[in-house]
């Protein structure tokens, strides 16, 4: 599995509230990694859409963008959106559970995943849009978008500690 699994330790009754938490460095590392995914994804906004594209110079398609962003952080990703949709941990499709860096999957049929994007926080995601002809940042709450109606799932590649669950999906 390519997921980076980081978990926070539970504080026992004998531990002081002021004592350093043993896994706080891991939790901070997971936050920093998710922030890096967001920064790298947003840096590609405006790049042109090219079917099969996998680089800023030649352009991106949706899975090429995800692969490029994640490869810069040493995550090995398969080529297609449907293959990428099988990686990491499946997360409930609810905006309250999203974290920056999560992969959002889309498809027109129940079985097929045909599009993928990167959640960047505050209800927004970055994706290579064939309709717009470029990499864009979109609002997940848009009701008029056919992609939003076809939102199929969430895959978490960067796993963080229990403290992350209280962050409400934003960094």
Catalytic residue at 127? yes
What strands, in cross-sheet order, belong to the sheet with 134-139?
89-91, 151-156, 103-106, 115-121, 124-129, 134-139
The whole-chain average pLDDT of the chain stands at 81
Catalytic residue at 31? no
Confidence band of 142 (pLDDT split at 50, 70, 90):
confident
The model's pLDDT over 55-71, given as tens digits with 9 standing for 90+, comes to: 999 999 999 999 999 99
The model's pLDDT over 88-125, given as tens digits with 9 standing for 90+, comes to: 999 999 989 999 999 999 988 766 899 999 999 999 99
Domain boundaries, the chain: 22-164
Fold for 22-164, please state it.
Answer: endopeptidase fold (from Nostoc punctiforme) (3.90.1720)
Catalytic residue at 62? yes
Three-state secondary-structure class, residue 86: coil
In the set 4, 31, 62, 97, the catalytic residue is: 62
Confidence band of 161 (pLDDT split at 50, 70, 90):
low
**Quick count: other Cβ atoms within 10 Å of Cβ 13?**
4
In the set 4, 31, 97, 127, the catalytic residue is: 127
| pTM, two decimal places | 0.78
């Amino acid at each position: 599995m390519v997921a980076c699994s980081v978990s926070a330790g539970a504080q026992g009754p004998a531990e002081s509230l002021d004592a350093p938490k043993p896994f706080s460095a891991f939790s901070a590392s997971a936050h920093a990694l998710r922030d890096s995914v967001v920064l790298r994804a947003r840096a590609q906004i405006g790049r042109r859409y090219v079917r099969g594209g996998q680089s800023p110079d030649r352009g991106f398609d949706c899975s090429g963008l995800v692969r490029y962003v994640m490869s810069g952080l040493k995550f090995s990703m398969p080529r297609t959106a449907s293959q990428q949709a099988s990686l990491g941990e499946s997360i409930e499709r609810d905006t309250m559970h999203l974290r920056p860096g999560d992969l959002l999957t889309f498809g027109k049929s129940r079985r097929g995943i045909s599009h993928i994007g990167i959640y960047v926080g505050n209800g927004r995601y970055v994706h290579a849009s064939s309709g717009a002809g470029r990499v864009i940042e979109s609002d997940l709450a848009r009701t008029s978008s056919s992609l939003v109606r076809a939102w199929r799932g969430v895959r978490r590649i960067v796993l963080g500690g229990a403290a992350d669950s209280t962050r409400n999906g934003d960094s």
